[in-house]
Amino acid sequence: MDALDALEIARWQFGITTVYHFMMVPLTIGLGLVVAVIQTIWHRTGKPEYLRMTKFWGKLFLINFIMGVATGIVQEFQFGMAWSEYSRFVGDVFGAPLALEALLAFFVESTFLGLWIFGWKQLKPAIHLACLWIAVVGSVFSAYFIIVANSWMQHPVGVEMIDGRPVMTDAWAVFTNNTALVAVPHTLFGALAVAGGFLLGIAWYHLWRRRRDGVDTVGADGKVIAGEAAEIPGRDRDDHKVWLRSLRIGAVVAMISFAGTALTGDLQGKLMFEQQPMKMAAAEAACHDGTGFSVLSIGNIGSQSCDDIVALIEVPGILSYLAKGDFTTEVQGVNSLLPEYKEKYGTHLPDNPIYGERAGQEIDYLPVMEVTYWGFRMMIGFGGLAALAALVALWLTRKGTVPESKWLMRLAVIGILAPFGANAAGWIFTEMGRQPFVVAPNPDPSGIDQVFMFTAAAVSPGVSAGELMTSLVTLTAIYAVLLVVEVKLLVKYIRGGVVSAMPELVHAPVDENEDATPGPGGPGGKPADDVLAFAY
Amino acid sequence: MELLPTIWFIAIAVLWTGYLFLEGFDLGVGMLMKLFARNNTERRVLLNTVGPVWDGNEVWLLTAGGATFAAFPLWYASLFSALYLPLLVVLVALIFRAVAFEYRGKVDTEQWRARWDWAIALGSFFAAFGVGAALALTTTGLPLNANGDREGGPFAWFNGYAVLGGLAVVGFALVHALAFLALKTDGEVRHRARAWFVRLLPVLLLPIAAWAVTVQVLEGKPWTWALVLLAVAAAATAWSMARKGAEGKAFMALGAFLALGSASIFGAAFPVVLPSTLNEAFDLTISNASSSDYTLGLMSAVAAFGLPLVIAYQAWTYWVFRKRVSAAHIPEAHSFLPAIAAKAFSTKG
């Protein structure tokens, strides 16, 4: 094998930085929404456990949020840095949603989150709460704009080709692209699933610790008897409520969001069969036309040849249902799609210097099938697993606490990872499945079907493989280190419990740092209290 | 000249100026963490002056980048790909800086804080230097071929202009941060910041003045020369206001210096957005690098309502957090017992 060339390095870099960035983003969106709801309940009811939940989950939210911010700048810059030909080609239509994301979403998110973090005392409670909601709405807007941009790559609309470049002619079509309208709720439900699993796993851990430490006990009827541990700050009866409520909210959110992802995913699948039939055929490893959904197919890994693939278990009719909503319509497989793609989009890359060494090469229209096939199944599998776990968790905790089993606790904590895996697998599937295109052709025959771009043409021609390798290695190394730091901090604050986010719960005020007692009733004695409600 | 591309040239100049004005002082405060603050309490005073606002300030950079992509895709593509390695440095700097702000106080040890202090200081320095170098090079030019791609290898961008632009933004950020600290803090830090400001302003503004004059010599027009003179007058005003103790006026005068200086540079460069040093025919201008009028019109409509809104609520944020911060406000360092630790050792098994 030759050394990686610029294109392959740039693709690895985009993949690594995007998947990484998208570990932080869904937690930010999902947890932000959950914290906003919890703070709203506190605002309405004044119950202390909801304030504690706001503070604790808010603290974890912020530790994670900053990583999303830090890694997000890379995303915007690398289009121009590593993919200058792509940027030149799509700029007229793709740049607008990115600029609007910054102008209408990032500003809102960052400014109002700053107000929320630091404004516990400076702002009236209702305005303080409103700031969080505004920030959360900002994050939802940012999801919308970036998915509009991405959806245009999956399904170009609203443009005409002028001088070899797509020029926007219909902004409404771009911003209401049907691909985006189903991908946005799908992504938001995916983000909520992450938050649900996060609450569930961590709350389970604390309930388990309370039992293990003998703080909570179980009566003869199996119901919990919540207790207090005087020697541990914050381990009182309200603490039990904090974790039980968190667990139940998490479980319910996890189940609702799985239902949401399934419904929106079904709509997405049906669109994808129309818009990118090869992607869905590759997701199914469906070589021949048919109606059956493959539960398990095997083949020679890496052979990329349909002749080697054998469907071991197949459920007839289901594929047709996924594609068309009935059980009988034949769905096209790879073998009948390939000639159509070749006829429409060519058999060889053009002899244009833009393709570098790849100019004139034969085009492989089949995405890497192991990735699409397993990516699709991992997405659904991890998502379903998390929802099932949430259902079981609700049942097991119906009497007010978790079982004593250490293994169950470990499963609940490890289960936090499942929705992250589902999100990553889904994005890897949909982006890898779009190959060899960076802008996939819209098969609509109204003239837009010639708006497409091969990934091979998208990379920056002036940037050397050495430069790309430098940034790939640098960013990957930094991201790895920062992931360790983030997880360590999260673990520290999680183990600390509510008190880690609310030092005022510690009776001896010696260790007090973040004097963040909200509201007028707080015991704040220092004259400077309203200058710094929170201090870095 | 074409109306919409001209409007967007001005809009992008405004976005960069807004970025340098706002993030200018928090980049400077970051560098001053190592240059100015004498102990941990002072460092925390510095941090907390920008705590609620630095992230919102940084979005100006993202917006400037995104707006360049949307309005002038060829400018964005050529500039960002030609400056691949320096922009990588900027990205790494911004990553470390952002994370450091948030994580510095999360573990209560000297070593932990010291590491993140370096991350903030160096991150701020390299971000300021890199942004300055990139802005200088987009006015003086890069070796671009007919397709807009850089010729001559990964370091072909490097020249004296890049260094001058880098120093210009670093110097300005430091002065601006001193003015900001004099305005936003109280006690010892406030007085020292003001003294440093008066003492260092003439030196630290030298590179940015040299850059503005260089651009005028290369491609200046009478009205942009006039802006340079006005900018110098604004800097002199800032200096004398600070001497009188009028910290607010000094800060605003320095802001006027930035706006005038920035206008003189962008104005001199207009209508070229990125010259090619290889062949004038390859220059990127507002005409050949811009998006369609349709896209620019759409963006104009959104920005006409969005940008004033952003300015309004960011201004409100500064109003909410308008009180001066001083060492007396800084609470004790934070350490807490894990809620589970007390029993964790006794009930093993």
Q: Check whether A521 has a pLDDT greater than 70.
A: no
Residues found in chain A: 536
pLDDT of residue A3: 59
**Percentage of chain A surpassing pLDDT 90?**
72
ipTM of the complex: 0.92
Residue A534 lies in a domain: no
Cβ atoms < 10 Å from Cβ of B105: 19
Q: Check whether A441 has a pLDDT greater than 60.
A: yes
Closest C-alpha among A463, A95, A425, A187 to residue B149: A463
Q: Which of residues 308-327 of B touch A (CB under 8 A)?
A: 310, 313-314, 317, 320-321, 323-326
Residue A531 lies in a domain: no
Q: How far apart are CA A175 and CA A152, in angstroms?
A: 9
* Torsion region of A234: left, alpha or beta (phi above 0 gives left; psi -120 to 50 gives alpha): left
Give the closest-approach CA distance of B328 to chain A in angstroms: 8
Q: Check whether B278 has a pLDDT greater than 90.
A: yes
Give the closest-approach CA distance of A332 to chain B in angstroms: 38
Residue A150 lies in a domain: yes
What's the pLDDT band for B343 if we cut at 50, 70, 90?
very low
Residue A536 lies in a domain: no
Question: Exposed, middle or buried: residue A357 (CB in 10 Å: 0-12, 13-18, 19+)?
Answer: exposed
Question: In this complex, do B336 and A73 lie within 8 Å of one another by their Cβ atoms?
Answer: no
Q: How far apart are CA B89 and CA B86, in angstroms?
A: 5
Within an 8 Å CB–CB cutoff, is residue B125 touching chain A?
Answer: no
Question: In this complex, do A113 and B55 lie within 8 Å of one another by their Cβ atoms?
Answer: yes
Range of the domain at A144: 6-511
Q: Check whether B132 has a pLDDT greater than 80.
A: yes
Cβ atoms < 10 Å from Cβ of B31: 21
Contacts of B47 in chain A (CB under 8 A): 536
Cβ atoms < 10 Å from Cβ of A217: 12
What's CA A43's distance to the chain center, in Å? 29
Give the closest-approach CA distance of B1 to chain A in angstroms: 20
| Structure confidence by residue, pLDDT tens digits, B210-262 | 999 999 999 999 999 999 999 999 999 999 999 999 999 999 999 999 999 99
Residue A522 lies in a domain: no
For the residues B304-321, what does the mean pLDDT come to?
94
Q: What is the residue-wise DSSP string for A418-466?
A: HHHHHHHHHHHHHHHTTTTEEEPPP--TTTGGG--EEGGGTS-TTS-HH
Q: Check whether A1 has a pLDDT greater than 80.
A: no
Q: Which residues contact A426 (CB under 8 A, 6 or more apart)?
A: A190, A375, A379
Question: In this complex, do A229 and B333 lie within 8 Å of one another by their Cβ atoms?
Answer: no
Q: What is the residue-wise DSSP string for B288-346?
A: TS---HHHHHHHHHHHHHHHHHHHHHHHHHHHHT-S-B-GGGPPPPP----TTHHHHTT
Q: How far apart are CA A207 and CA A209, in angstroms?
A: 5
Q: How far apart are CA B65 and CA A99, in angstroms?
A: 8
For the residues A424-446, what does the mean pLDDT come to?
92
Q: Which of residues 451-510 of A touch B (CB under 8 A)?
A: 460-464, 466-468, 470-471, 474-475, 478, 482, 485, 489, 492-493, 495-500, 503, 506, 510
The answer to whether the peptide bond before residue B52 is cis (omega within 30 degrees of 0) is: no
A87: phi then psi, degrees, rounded to nearest 5? -60, -40
Q: Check whether A310 has a pLDDT greater than 80.
A: no
For the residues A151-168, what does the mean pLDDT come to?
94
Give the closest-approach CA distance of B9 to chain A in angstroms: 15
Cβ atoms < 10 Å from Cβ of A158: 19
Q: Check whether A286 has a pLDDT greater than 50.
A: yes
Which residue has 């001199």 as its token pair? B268
Contacts of B71 in chain A (CB under 8 A): 95, 99
Closest C-alpha among B245, B235, B237, B249 to residue B194: B245
First to last CA, chain B: 80
Average pLDDT of every residue of chain A: 89
Residue A530 lies in a domain: no
Average pLDDT of every residue of chain B: 93
What's the pLDDT band for A325 if we cut at 50, 70, 90?
confident
Residue A452 lies in a domain: yes
Residue A528 lies in a domain: no
| Range with the poorest average pLDDT among A50-59, A64-73, A330-339, B210-219 | A330-339
Cβ atoms < 10 Å from Cβ of A361: 11
Question: Exposed, middle or buried: residue A12 (CB in 10 Å: 0-12, 13-18, 19+)?
Answer: middle
Q: Check whether A176 has a pLDDT greater than 90.
A: yes
Q: Check whether B313 has a pLDDT greater than 90.
A: yes
| pTM beyond 0.90 | yes
Q: How far apart are CA A140 and CA A153, in angstroms?
A: 20
Higher pLDDT, A491 or A320: A491
Higher pLDDT, A525 or A14: A14
pLDDT of residue A380: 94
Nearest by CB: B299 against A72, A99, A229? A99
List the domains of chain B with CATH numbers: 3-320 (1.20.1630.10)
C-beta of residue A32 within 8 angstroms of C-beta of residue A69: no
C-beta of residue A158 within 8 angstroms of C-beta of residue A93: yes
* Torsion region of A297: left, alpha or beta (phi above 0 gives left; psi -120 to 50 gives alpha): beta
Q: What is the residue-wise DSSP string for A333-378?
A: -HHHHHHHHHHHH-SB--S-GGGGGGTTPBP--S--HHHHHHHHHH
Q: Which residues contact A488 (CB under 8 A, 6 or more apart)?
A: none
Number of domains in chain A: 1
Give the closest-approach CA distance of A503 to chain B in angstroms: 7
